[in-house]
Amino acid sequence: MTRRFAQVDVFSSTGTEGNPVAVVVDGGGPGAPIAEDRMAAFARWTNLSETTFVLPPTDPAADYKLRIFTPGGELPFAGHPTLGSAHAWLTSGGRPKGEDVVQECGVGLVHIRRSGPRLAFAAPPLRRSGPVDPDVVDEVVAALAVDRDAVVAAEWVDNGPEWMVIQLGSGERVLEVRPDIAALGDHKVGLLGLYDAGDVFAEVRAFVPGIGVPEDPVTGSLNAGIATWLRSTGQAPESYVAAQGGAIGRAGRVHIHDDGQDIWVGGDTATVIEGTVAL
């Protein structure tokens, strides 16, 4: 069956410097759903960090249901696919039931709204938080080729993907890291460093072994988890910008805003490829 398709760049205003997501807009429907194995096969074929499928909702409060696949399997939630899929759904004629777009996915309902020219999602609650076990930290820093005494903090910020974040002393130090991806094993690791001054408050990197993409260019779920942790511990202002992707030739910008009720994770989105796909 021929279905509407878009490839959307997320967290970049230029359309090529953020993180692309492949979106199959007509992922379901009466008599025409895509089988799960076909979804997984298509995600392996696109070979992007994530490929999504927009489906009819099963929760009456949702506007659509989203399934999110990496080349290695399915995720319950991911940030840049959430924003990119909302962009594709809206530009394909989708109309939300209420003020926000409401996405149903593996972590429940996620609210998405326009914030000026950007889309932003409300950070889901952390499923796991607190310090990472010292033995695990030792494994991870060895794979990162980072001295143990360079680690400022090591925290779980798991909001679906099982992220841990390793904080280093500065944004500049984060950009210098050259990891051994294979040595990370199954650990999903975010790096964080804060800047003393400037328009960018934080530098972030994300390493996800086993999905076919060694370093994720720009990562909404990780930035959401980091923002939840930093705000809960008083380490960040209510609004800030995080940079990600500089180490691999991207220029992603993630805009964080805590309105006192929710932490919103936003960024620019742009359709780069639009057409149809046979699935």
Please state the φ and ψ torsions of residue 188, each to the nearest 5 degrees: -95, 115
Instruction: Judge whether 194 and 159 are in contact, CB under 8 Å.
Output: no
Rounded Cα distance between 68 and 53, Å, is: 7
> Is 91 buried (19+), middle (13-18) or exposed (0-12) by CB count in 10 A?
middle
Catalytic residue among 50, 104, 203, 215: 50
Please state the φ and ψ torsions of residue 22, each to the nearest 5 degrees: -90, 125
Examine the residue annotation and report whether 238 is marked as an active-site residue of this protein.
no
In 3D space, the residue among 233, 241, 239 whose CA is nearest the CA of residue 260 turns out to be 239
Strands (E), the chain: 2-10, 19-24, 51-55, 64-70, 73-75, 101-105, 108-115, 118-122, 128-131, 153-158, 163-167, 188-194, 202-207, 215-216, 239-244, 252-258, 263-267, 269-278
Rounded Cα distance between 161 and 220, Å, is: 11
The backbone region for 30, taken as left when phi is positive above 0, alpha when psi lies in -120 to 50, beta otherwise, is beta
Crossing angle (nearest 10°) for helices 220-232 and 79-91: 120
Rounded Cα distance between 255 and 18, Å, is: 13
Residues carrying an active site annotation: 50
